Amino acid sequence: MAKLGARAGWNENYVQSITASTTLTAGDSGKVFTVATDALVITLPAVAAGLKFTFVNTGADGNNIITISPESSDAIWGTITLAGSVVDLGGVDNKDLINTKASSIKGDSATLVSDGTDWYVTASTGIWAAEA
């Protein structure tokens, strides 16, 4: 019997905390991951059409660097607008998306989706940088 208000396919673990560096799987798609621990690397699974992940910095302001890393043959595309400037992620294979520590603010977030070929930033808040 379905829970009151539940819908078919609803993931009851929709929001999960990440407390150690980890590699996500396709089964984690659709989840929102909160990160309050500094210096974690979160590795994305191989690209597959329809995968979607959201990451939220829940640590204290200026406390967390969060690194989102694609597999070595995958790239992250998109731009993130910052007060008068734009960070172009460039779509280079094996380059990370990084929520910068010194300028991090509790609530910074990024949502990535895959079309089966690459990853794309579809929403973001806060200051994120592309790995050099």
Tally of domains within the chain: 1
Expressed as residue numbers, the domain containing 99 is 22-130
* Residue 106 included in any domain: yes
* Residue 29 included in any domain: yes
Report CA-CA distances (Å) from 9 to 2, 13, 14, 50.
Answer: 11, 12, 11, 15
pLDDT number for residue 127: 87
Output the domain CATH number for residue 113.
2.60.120
Higher pLDDT, 86 or 104: 104
* Residue 10 included in any domain: no
* Residue 14 included in any domain: no
* Residue 7 included in any domain: no
The pLDDT tens digits of the residues spanning 44-101 come to 999 999 999 999 999 999 999 999 999 999 999 988 866 566 777 878 888 999 998 9
Sheet holding 128-130, edge to edge: 22-23, 40-43, 66-69, 97-99, 128-130
- Calpha distance 75→68 (Å, rounded): 11
pLDDT surpassing 90 at residue 35: yes
pLDDT number for residue 56: 97
* Residue 105 included in any domain: yes
